[in-house]
Amino acid sequence: MRAVEIYVSGVVQGVGFRYFTARIAKELGIKGFVKNLSDGRVYIYAVGEERALEKFISNIRHGPPLAVVRDLEIRNAEIKEVERFEVKR
């Protein structure tokens, strides 16, 4: 198991990015959450198996059709107990 924090920048708010992220996370068995940040980025906390996280990050790099992902900042994080993946406001 591994946990990561991902900061996504570009055109990633108002384009369904959080719900896209949640759908991919659920498909891959990733737990954690996604939320918009006040600076226009999206923040993701994700916990899962290494292979699943790699696939998850690959999908996040592309985003949904209306998104333009310019950069991902990925940091290793402390593993926290989370029950599911959720979209936060």
69 in a structural domain: no
pLDDT score recorded for residue 77? 98
Domain assignment present for residue 27? The answer is yes
CB 14 within 8 A of CB 54: no
Find the catalytic residue in 2, 23, 36, 59. Answer: 36
Q: Catalytic annotation on 76?
A: no
Domain count, the chain: 1
Asked if residue 84 belongs to a domain, the reply is: no
What is the pLDDT tens value at each position of the chain, 89 positions in all? 999 999 999 999 999 999 999 999 999 999 999 999 999 999 999 999 999 999 999 999 999 999 999 999 999 999 999 999 999 98
Q: Which of 2, 18, 75, 89 is catalytic?
A: 18
At residue 89, the pLDDT reads 84
pLDDT at 47: 98
pLDDT at 10: 97
Q: Does residue 54 form part of some domain?
A: no
- Whose CA is closest to 2, among 49, 72, 58, 55? 49
pLDDT at 88: 96
Known active-site residue 36: yes
- What pLDDT score was predicted for residue 26? 98
Q: What is the pLDDT of residue 35?
A: 98
Domain region containing 39: 1-9+17-46
